[in-house]
Structure 1
Amino acid sequence: MIPGSTPIASAGAMNMIAALLEQRAGQQIAANRTWRIETALKPILRERGLGSLDELVAQLIAARTGELADQVVDALLNQETSFFRDVAVLDMIADAAQAMQAEAGHRRLRIWSAGCSTGQEPLSLAMLFSEREMPDPEIVATDVSPAALARARSGRFSQFEIQRGLPVRRMMTWFDSVNADWVAKPELVRKLQFRQHNLTLDAAPAGCFDIILCRNVMLYFSVAVRRKVFDTLASAIRPGGLLALGAGETVIGQTDHFTPCEKYRGFYRRVEAPGTLLATA
């Protein structure tokens, strides 16, 4: 509970909502952070005229469609992100992509931004590649949240969001001021493919990727779910490709599919079976 707040839910209601989030999205809510449930769901309670989370759970049980459950899960998802988050990592990705492109010749590189939230990460990549005058890679950006993807596709951000990690020069180059917000220029948004995708349930997007970013996503998964997600990522990465995780995440003790990369510190390469041939997809 938030200090000073009034209890509005039984432990049973809290547990059911937390279980719904884990079932649908794989994310866990730590016992010391259950206050997030009340905070995140208050707008839904107000919208539906409900006085407690117990009443919300009763509606979830009685609902004939999954619309309310989808709304609850979407509200609980952690969508923390910002432009050029861990900029040194993005610079290293661009360095690696340039080296890969030199080896690939005319083949277009493919990059997967998994768990892209409202789109700041893939937009940052698109800006960076363009500024380096590199051939545009195919950037596939996915997230489990329809609401987050709708915002990402719109390219519309508040003044607060745009100032988090985005220098004035880039803001003026790549965004237009619209009322109180900033909207990404169409030519920037067109560089990206946004798709809904559930890392814990869905197969990877079709084809092989040269670089996969799955940053600050694994933090909220159980060990078993992490292993499953690493299996999915391994199935999608091209031999010789790179995996980027968040600063507090690692493959060590989590999966046998990846190993730390010596050339690009902090990145991981897929472990190849003897005799593995380079993919051509």
Structure 2
Amino acid sequence: MDASQASYQIIDDLLEARTGQHLSESRRWRVATALSGVFREHGISNIDQLVCLLDLPMRTPGKPELAQQVVEALLNNETYFYRDKPTFDQLADDIIPTIAERREHSKRISIWCAGCSTGQEVHSIAMIFADMADRWKDWTIDILGTDVSHRAINAARNGVYSQFEVQRGLGVAQMLTHFDETSQGWQVVEETRAMSRFQQHNVLSDPPSRHKFDLVLCRNVLLYFDQANRERAFSRLHSAMADDGFLMLGAGETVVGQTRAFMPSPKRASIYEATPSPHETPLLATG
């Protein structure tokens, strides 16, 4: 293994240790580009020099730890409002009404968006509720967004987006209804932001709340995990959910052949339901 290969392996080990993700061969081509800002800040030009710096103590006041800078630069924070619109139509027309019927006695709905990146997914869900404010006026709507990236969570919590970001997935009427134009950009209005909270969290860690979630979204997160970490993540998600809760994955993801913890929800795309005894349920066939 040459120096660069060894350096890539060290970066891959760091990424897995911090996030559970791996640098697959298909992702390695973009590593240098993703780390270009880190290279510039530290006056280096390649990954071998970066790995040498990682062995040195970084104690500059006010600067984030270099290892965390590297990890955050490598994370895929691609997201936008109402990403995969049919998915959000299904939430508004089917999943949320079903949950509401089951929670009529408590008048509380808890939702967790794992791997929420810069918050567009969380705010999109909040807008679904805000569009029917009278329907939910006596309810507690709690939407939690989590991500391993401290930088992404800060952006999500601020809820301020550029013109380009708000135009991805939103119509003009939605922009004017749910956002205030500020000197920094377009900010989600306070009433909508009040339904959401954000915290840094790794999906491989213990659930972020003792309260069980009625709906968990974990879309396009597990794609970057190996099988062992994927099974571990499914177990964590299962333990965080109500027995009758729903899990939503990305369009290119599935539980089939991956875990005993969930099974596909009949006639619902990308929606899965928790199995009552995941350790006793056989893995679903992949064929």
Query: TM over 0.5, yes or no?
Result: yes
Is the partner of 2:209 in helix, strand or coil? coil
Consecutive unaligned residues in structure 2, runs of 5 or more: 279-287
**Mapping of 1:100-249 within 5 angstroms?**
100-107=99-106, 108-133=108-133, 134-135=135-136, 137-179=141-183, 181-249=185-253
Q: Retained in 2: the 8 A contact 1:204–1:233?
A: no
Is the partner of 1:109 in helix, strand or coil? strand
Is the partner of 1:251 in helix, strand or coil? coil
Matched, 1:69 2:67: yes
More displaced 10-residue stretch of structure 1: 162-171 or 257-266: 257-266
Consecutive unaligned residues in structure 1, runs of 5 or more: 1-8, 275-281
User: Taking structure 1 as reference, are residues 210 and 203 closer, same or farther at Cα in structure 2, changes over 3 Å only?
Assistant: closer
> Which stretches of structure 1, 4 residues or longer, exceed 4 Å deviation after superposition?
none
| Aligned residue among 258, 280, 283 for 1:254 | 258
Q: Which residue of 2 aligns with 1:50?
A: 44
Q: Retained in 2: the 8 A contact 1:45–1:56?
A: yes
Q: Offset at 1:227?
A: 0.1
Superposed CA deviations along residues 7-29 of structure 1, whole A, max 9, x for unmatched, are: xx822222211221111111112
Q: Offset at 1:93?
A: 1.8
The whole-number CA distance in structure 2 between the counterparts of 1:157 and 1:106 is 37
Aligned residues: 266
Q: Retained in 1: the 8 A contact 2:114–2:145?
A: yes
Q: Which amino acid aligns with 2:219?
A: R
The whole-number CA distance in structure 1 between the counterparts of 2:205 and 2:194 is 27
Q: Which amino acid aligns with 1:100?
A: I
The whole-number CA distance in structure 1 between the counterparts of 2:196 and 2:102 is 23
The whole-number CA distance in structure 2 between the counterparts of 1:205 and 1:115 is 15
Q: Structure 1-normalised TM-score?
A: 0.89
Is the partner of 1:141 in helix, strand or coil? strand
The whole-number CA distance in structure 1 between the counterparts of 2:36 and 2:46 is 9
Is the partner of 1:112 in helix, strand or coil? strand
Is the partner of 2:30 in helix, strand or coil? helix
Q: Which residue of 2 aligns with 1:278?
A: none
Q: Offset at 1:259?
A: 0.6
The whole-number CA distance in structure 2 between the counterparts of 1:104 and 1:51 is 56
Q: Which residue of 2 aligns with 1:4?
A: none
Q: Retained in 2: the 8 A contact 1:40–1:75?
A: yes
The whole-number CA distance in structure 2 between the counterparts of 1:166 and 1:203 is 31
Q: Retained in 2: the 8 A contact 1:141–1:192?
A: yes
The whole-number CA distance in structure 2 between the counterparts of 1:132 and 1:185 is 15
Q: Retained in 2: the 8 A contact 1:242–1:270?
A: yes
Matched, 1:37 2:31: yes
Superposed CA deviations along residues 155-192 of structure 1, whole A, max 9, x for unmatched, are: 11111111110111101111122236211112221110
Q: Which amino acid aligns with 2:117?
A: S
Superposed CA deviations along residues 27-48 of structure 1, whole A, max 9, x for unmatched, are: 1122132122101111111111
More displaced 10-residue stretch of structure 1: 140-149 or 47-56: 47-56
Q: Structure 2-normalised TM-score?
A: 0.88
Superposition RMSD in Å: 1.8
| Aligned residue among 74, 77, 80 for 1:79 | 77
